[in-house]
Chains A and B, each alone.
Chain A
Amino acid sequence: MNTAMHSTRQLLQRRLIIRCTLLGAILFIAFCLAMMLGDYPVAPADLLASLLSPLTGQRNPGIDFIVLNVRLPRAILAILSGAAFALSGAIFQALLRNPLASPDIIGISQGASAAAVFCIIILNWSGLLLGFGALGGGLATALAIYLLAWRDGVSPYRIVLIGIAVAAILSAVISYLFTRARISEVQQALGWLVGSLNAASYSQLWPLAAALCLLVPMGIFLARPLKALELGDDMARALGTRVELAHLGLIVVAVALSAFATAAAGPVAFVAFMSAPITKRIMGTGRHHFGAVMLVGAALMTAADLLAQHALPEMQLPVGVVTGLLGAIFLLWLLVTASRTGRI
């Protein structure tokens, strides 16, 4: 009996490790393709030499510039922002017990977006400064939603409804700014709103990388009571979990992840929303595998950016257009498979 349980657990563990390795392999392949393909194709040997050139000192200026200064920051930004969006979405979906919840729906993305559009159109900011503006907007909006939803604790239903109302005001602000600005500024702002990695540089990476180093361990530490939270607030309280504190801590982590990723890459649609459900299907369990969720998000973002750059021969799409289309396909697939098995 005991040995049977033990071996089952071992089997599950092994399955988990195999699937995570597969995910990692997919991410690695997408990363390599992103580094090699482009107007100036780079052969695998050259790529490796170039990546190692800071260590070996063997430089080839032309290839090094393309690999190290153009493609590498972009590929790293795709991985980091994808992982951050995915983890943020997974925390929101678990916390609000609603598979449709994600930072795009409950108003945090709109907060970052409205702040960014304001910074672009009114203050003429760009680059790192713009990122910090968006970050401030996202965090302030999340705080406002939480405070407005607070009334002897917060109910998920109230957070979602208030998030939608706040999102409506902020969308109206964006539309208003759009009608008052010069068309060139509107174009610039729209480019940011769709979400794009076209202008990736190392200066955008550092804040996001630092945030991930701090927030991911915090998220994993705080998520231990999450299993109890999923049973409902009353049940969690009965089990002795400090509900409000755990809620608050996780919301801060999720919001900060989403805000930092949005500041670096723009509000890329659907990565936060799709990653956790996809992970659940790949892993075949209901447990929270934060590592796997982040792998899925990173792979999704890298693959989407690859498609965005090379799908159309004469132009580059912003990555947000591709993730939007992928999101639509994913939802339709979910719909068709779920209605075939009669489970939805």
Chain B
Amino acid sequence: MRPGSFRLAGLFLLIGVLAAIAALSLTVGSRPVPFATVWAALTGADSGSTDAMIIWTLRLPRTLIGLTVGAALGLSGALLQGATRNPLADPSILGIHAGASVSIVTGITLFGITSAGVYIWLALAGAGLAMLLVYAIASIGREGPTPIKLALAGAAITAALMSVVSAVLLTSPVTLDQLRFWQVGSLAGRDLAVLTALAPFFALGTILALGLGRVLDGLSMGDDVARGLGQHTGRGRAMAALAAVLLAGAATAAAGPIAFVGLTVPHIARAITGPSYRWILPYSMLLAPMLLLGSDIVGRIVAPPGEVQVGIVTAVIGAPFFIALIRRRKLAEL
């Protein structure tokens, strides 16, 4: 078989594993529901029981949000690493998490907002504005937004915004009490309305992202080579950043700032597929929800009767795996 066929077969294998994890996510929890009951509830054969209610109002939204947010984080991480040619790039590098945090902190402190439904829009607006600011600053100068300028501008804006967040949190215990739960990142307690509200952002971002593989491959060879191949490097980088902020902004709005997935999953994908973004993007899109949803399942059962939030479990499970990967392989430096 040609290497391409292997990669395609791997893709189908991942889809299968992901489906199995999603099914597991519907049955596992503080109240286990057997597969047969899950099936009956989903097909409508059983609509009145407590189990059916749990599946429809709690487990199904949680699983779908986990799948969507995971895919969005994986894609945005891969996009940003390609566009900035920096192995350490992730959604927080363009100020997305800091922007969302500042926006939510402002909402709570100045306007007394405490409803999760409003947090979504605050987070989305904050993430978008911060990213715009970072991109505008990085574009100063003749040569436009180069990778290192994007990284520096992102670090600068993040530092400034997080200073503001710290100053507000230190003076306002009420805001701190709200934010400490939002900032760990969680899939619990969101209903399907969250997903339908954000669906346009996820959809547009995903379509854009999957079409950018060839552009990112060009950018990864350096701007001069890419330009020599007839690419508009500025336009390609702007499209990648746009798709990344749509995806990461919506993911942060839905589940809070989950840091580790976007950074590491593209490295795992790269270790499997090799350096082409045409494969890294779809692999990241499937591997990231596996990590996120798998971590969420572990978080539900590891500390009964309570739960551990998914953002925490992802780092605790994902980081040792990532370290093992770094130690075992000679990583392809970007």
Residue positions of A touching B, CB distance < 8 A: 100, 148, 151, 157-158, 160-162, 164-166, 168-169, 171-173, 175-176, 178-179, 183, 186-187, 190-191, 194, 269-270, 315, 317-318, 320-322, 324-325, 327-329, 331-332, 334-336, 339-340, 342, 344
Contacts and interface: CB of A to CB of B under 8 A. Distances in A.
B327 interface: yes
A39 B331 CA distance: 57
A161 B331 contact: yes
A308 to B, nearest CB: 10
7 smallest beta-carbon distances between A and B, as pairs: A339-B141, A324-B163, A331-B156, A328-B160, A172-B315, A165-B319, A328-B159
Contacts of B326: 158, 161-162, 165
Interface in B151-206: 151-153, 155-157, 159-160, 162-163, 166-167, 169-171, 173, 176-177, 180-181, 183-184
Contacts of B184: 172, 175-176, 178-179
Contacts of B149: 335, 339, 344
A172 B176 contact: no
Contacts of A190: 166, 169-170, 176
B322 A270 contact: no
- Looking at chain A's contact residues, the main secondary structure is helix
B142 interface: yes
Contacts of B137: 332, 335
B155 to A, nearest CB: 6
Interface string B257-288: 00110011000000000000000000000000
Interface stretch (B27-35, B42-50, B304-312): B304-312
Which interface class (under 10, 10 to 19, 20 to 34, 35 or more) fits B? 35 or more
B109 interface: no
A191 B88 CA distance: 29
Contacts of B140: 335-336, 339
Given A332-B156, A344-B148, 5 more contacts: A158-B327, A161-B326, A183-B173, A322-B163, A325-B163
A162 B319 CA distance: 9
Contact of B167 (A186, A321, A332): A321
A320 B163 CA distance: 8
Contacts of A161: 87-88, 322, 326, 331
Contacts of A176: 184, 308-309, 312
Contacts of A157: 331, 333
A165 B264 contact: yes
A168 B319 contact: yes
A155 to B, nearest CB: 10
Nearest to A334: B152
B183 A175 contact: yes
Given A168-B260, A169-B319, A187 B152 contact: no
23 contacts: A157-B333, A161-B87, A161-B88, A161-B331, A162-B326, A165-B322, A175-B309, A175-B312, A183-B173, A190-B166, A190-B170, A190-B176, A269-B159, A269-B163, A324-B159, A324-B166, A325-B159, A328-B156, A329-B160, A335-B138, A335-B156, A339-B142, A344-B148
Nearest to A323: B163
B146 A335 contact: no
